[in-house]
Amino acid sequence: MPNPNIQGFIFDLDGVLTDTAELHYLAWQKLADEESIPFNHQANEGLRGVSRRASLMHIIGDRPYSEAQIEEMMERKNRYYVESIQNMTPKDLLPGAIALLDELRQAGIKIGIGSASKNARTVIERLGIADKVDAIADGYSVEQPKPAPDLFLYAAKQLGLEPEQCVVVEDAGAGVDAALAAGMWAVGLGPAERVGAAHVVLPSLEGFKWADLKAKLSNIARQKHSETSN
Ligand code: BG6
Ligand code: MG
């Protein structure tokens, strides 16, 4: 296998470039409290990268809510979440994020966002990174949520790239699976129990250097090649 010809990075947003996971959690917690449904931080961990509806279904379990009530609860949670992101600023970018975006841009690498969130555009604006991003795939872009590959394939298409030219950066297991299903390179941020299926696992973006990753991916490609040719 030749050296990977990486031309694009597709970043998940929530939990990768900014810690909105906590804001989603607080909004769900408020809703759960109002509905007297038990919920906590630990339960929220299972909702990383999960769509709004699927998250709510997870929280309500088999409680008999009507479709109208479900819709109303989704709207209510979103209201709380939207309120909380109004105060976001570029300071809410996670450590290492801006340095990496700038390094990639200087290297001529295209940058896309692949987020399940319908609020992704607002968050990108508030973080002040809209001018650093070439394409956005968000909660409105495709039908099938992660772990289906659709969202990342959509982002790659917007960037004008083939899947194998793209690196996905994800903090959720379902997101890593989606990247692999799309035939892309996957970088997982967080514990191995969550993102261990990725090609490369890192604790966070802090200190992340494109040059280091490039070397790692070349090694992996070489290893794969020797495994298949032996
Ligand atoms: C993902 C988040 O990015 O977007 C999930 O990790 C969230 O927590 C999902 O539920 C959908 O977001 P939204 O903003 O459309 O409700
Ligand atoms: Mg995420």
**Do 31 and 13 share a domain, yes or no?**
no
**Do 98 and 211 share a domain, yes or no?**
yes
**Do 111 and 27 share a domain, yes or no?**
no
Q: How far, in Å, CA of 217 to CA of 230, rounded?
A: 20
Q: Taking the chain, what is the end-to-end CA distance rounded to the nearest angstrom?
A: 13
Q: How far, in Å, CA of 14 to CA of 146, rounded?
A: 14
**In which domain, by residue range, is 58 found?**
21-85
CATH number at residue 158: 3.40.50.1000
CA–centroid distance, residue 225 to ligand 2 (Å)? 31
**Do 131 and 206 share a domain, yes or no?**
yes
pLDDT in tens, 52-64: 999 999 999 999 9
Residues with C-beta less than 6 Å from any ligand 1 atom: 13-15, 24, 47-52, 55, 78, 115-119, 139
Q: Helix (H, G, I), strand (E, B), or coil: what is residue 94? A: coil
**Do 12 and 35 share a domain, yes or no?**
no
**Using 50, 70 and 90 to split pLDDT, how confident is the model at 2?**
low
CA–centroid distance, residue 209 to ligand 2 (Å)? 20
110 beta partners = 8
pTM of the complete model: 0.94
Q: How many domains does the chain have?
A: 2
Query: How many CB atoms within 10 Å of residue 61?
Result: 8
**Do 72 and 120 share a domain, yes or no?**
no
Residue type, 93: L
Per-residue pLDDT for 182 more than 90? Answer: yes
CA–centroid distance, residue 33 to ligand 2 (Å)? 24
Per-residue pLDDT for 1 more than 60? Answer: no
Residue 105 counted as domain residue: yes
CATH number at residue 30: 1.10.150.240
Mean pLDDT across 198-214: 94
Mean pLDDT across 187-192: 96
Report which ligand 1 atom has the smallest distance to the Cα of 119.
14
Per-residue confidence (pLDDT) for residue 230, from 0 to 100? 62
pLDDT in tens, 132-181: 999 999 999 999 999 999 999 999 999 999 999 999 999 999 999 999 99
- Which of the residues are catalytic? 12, 14
Per-residue confidence (pLDDT) for residue 228, from 0 to 100? 74
Report which ligand 1 atom has the smallest distance to the Cα of 120.
14
Better-scored residue on pLDDT, 3 or 30: 30
